[in-house]
Structure 1
Amino acid sequence: MNYLVIAVLLLPIVIASKETSLPCGACLMIVTEVEKAVRAVDPRKKISVGSFRVDPKGNQNINEIPYARSEVFLTEALEDVCDKYKKYTQAVHPVSGKLTYVHEDLVVQYKRINGKTSKLHDACNDIIDNHEADIMRFMSRESDSSVHEFCHTTIGVCSAVDAIPFPDYKEEKTEDDEANDEL
């Protein structure tokens, strides 16, 4: 009887460890979507920042910085990032085996799980409300592993396993595909 009680009490812990948390999924979505928006901006586009005051000599302290990592752009990107939750679904991560949130474009090749992603929108808004300054500071610079660095290291909503990126999917061509390409 005692074993049954212990098993029932430990069941939620075992189930939870096989699934990425909602705040972690929201963080993954935020970082992924903002990085995608940054990459879409023309790298030659610049914005003037600095003081528009004129010193006694008639000079202004104005600097030009890349628009993609500017506070103006990042603020605009964060305004509608949470509305993109509809493009996310749950899928089993091929490396960790955990159920995680991923953009629907990636789940063509991975096992898709019909889950509840409507709560992802609220979790996304909560992350932005609680960590907006951290997001702005972090996203203003480039990073090689932005999801891991921000979601795991900076704000701690993801475990190291949850922050493992999905492997790049490269479709292998069969002989039939190659024959069709030649036509």
Structure 2
Amino acid sequence: MRCGACRALVDEMEWAMSQIDPKKMIQTGPYRINPDGSQSIREVPLVRSEGNLLEMMESICERMEDYGERTDLSTSRKTYMRVKSRNGESMDLSEATLDSRVTSSLKFACETIVEQNEDEIIEFFAHETDNVKDRLCSMRTDLCDHALNTPHDEL
């Protein structure tokens, strides 16, 4: 469950970040004036700013209600897939099981992951762009022991 929640969290964060104009910049740094009269302000992309990422993480686990459970028949491993479309298109739900207990457990697992790994999540999304799902959920947090063998488009 925790592995699926982590992978869904990464998918949702990546989607939310894709909705922000990558050209928008924000000034960060201390706004104090240095003794020489200069300021140590730098511009970073809004999408990867700590404040923006924190704001996204506050509501990201609410989206776990849009997921259903799927059991891989060959491995009997449970995975989680989006069952509600973000853009209104119909989705193939034949492999997913919809259960309020599963979605509430997934949401709770997501909230726990965010609470326990907030700094790591911000660090990865502020700087990393490749394989965040595997690198965060497996290598950094050890939530997924099998993720390196799981295709990137699956949860």
Give the TM-score normalised by structure 1: 0.71
CA distance in 2, matches of 1:139, 1:150: 10
CA distance in 1, matches of 2:42, 2:74: 44
Counting only pairs closer than 5 Å after superposition, residues 162-181 of structure 1 correspond to structure 2 as 163-166=150-153
Deviations 1:41-64 (A, max 9, x none): 101100001121112332211100
RMSD across aligned positions (CA): 2.4
Deviations 1:120-153 (A, max 9, x none): 1111111111111111111111322111111011
Instruction: List runs of 5+ in structure 1 lacking aligned partners.
Output: 1-21, 168-183
Task: Work out whether residues 151 and 163 of structure 1, in 8 Å CA contact, stay in contact via their aligned partners in 2.
Answer: no
Task: Work out whether residues 81 and 96 of structure 2, in 8 Å CA contact, stay in contact via their aligned partners in 1.
Answer: no
- Residue number in structure 2 paired with 1:32: 11
The residue identity in structure 2 corresponding to 1:58 is: G
Instruction: List runs of 5+ in structure 2 lacking aligned partners.
Output: none
CA distance in 2, matches of 1:112, 1:24: 17
CA distance in 2, matches of 1:93, 1:58: 62
- Residue number in structure 2 paired with 1:53: 32
Q: 2:128 aligns with which of 139, 142, 154?
A: 142
CA distance in 2, matches of 1:110, 1:96: 18
- Residue number in structure 2 paired with 1:89: 68
CA distance in 1, matches of 2:30, 2:109: 36
Give the share of equivalent positions with the same residue, in percent. Answer: 29
CA distance in 1, matches of 2:128, 2:74: 25
Q: Is it true that 1:112 corresponds to 2:127 in the alignment?
A: no
Give 1:94 shift: 9.2
Give 1:118 shift: 1.4
The residue identity in structure 1 corresponding to 2:145 is: S
Q: Aligned with 1:61: secondary structure?
A: coil
Counting only pairs closer than 5 Å after superposition, residues 113-128 of structure 1 correspond to structure 2 as 113-115=97-99, 116-128=102-114
CA gap 1:166/1:97 in 2 versus in 1, 3 angstroms = farther
Q: Is it true that 1:80 corresponds to 2:67 in the alignment?
A: no
CA distance in 2, matches of 1:149, 1:34: 15
